[in-house]
Amino acid sequence: MSEPVIDTMARTGGCLCGKIRFTVSGEPDYPHVCSCRHCQKRAGGPIQSWVSFPLKGLNWTGEADEPTWFDTFPGETKRGFCATCGSSVAAFDYGDTHIGINLTAFDDQDDPLLVPVNQSFRGDAVTWLPQVPDTQQSNS
């Protein structure tokens, strides 16, 4: 039996104005959309999209260095956004070894490993938008 292939491809992205830029590498984990009221308010839309990467594979490369952080749940979770254009870029749970990156922040929007496989908080989803089908078992 052959060894599984590990994804080590570097992926790039950033905010709308370009002041926040990043490179991530490592295995993408659980690309999904979230319909919780919190994400809806942050995104200004019916869903927000996320994928996690190992924190050790993240480098902030833009002129603004890293995003401005807001403690959405003080001591638990913070969200990163561009202070200039307001783009949502990242989310981090304190003490975690992974960071969530907003799928729309990536430069390559056709990466097949960054297609959402699930939708969190379906009960909070707007009724007029079809839900993302489950293509992977989830613990969330």
Question: Tens-of-pLDDT digits for all 140 residues of the chain?
Answer: 555 545 678 999 999 999 999 999 999 999 999 888 888 888 888 889 999 999 999 999 999 999 999 998 888 889 999 999 999 999 999 999 999 999 999 999 999 999 999 988 888 888 888 888 787 654 44
**pTM for this prediction:** 0.85
Q: Give the domain range for residue 116.
A: 11-124
First-residue to last-residue Cα distance in the chain: 31
> What CA–CA distance (Å, rounded) separates 80 from 66?
8
Residue 80 in any domain: the answer is yes
**Helix/strand/coil (H, E, C) string of 102-135?**
EHHHECCCCCHHHCCCCEECHHHCCCCCCCCCCC
The residue length of the chain stands at 140
Residue 136 in any domain: the answer is no
> What CA–CA distance (Å, rounded) separates 10 from 110?
15
Residue 94 in any domain: the answer is yes
Total domains in the chain come to: 1
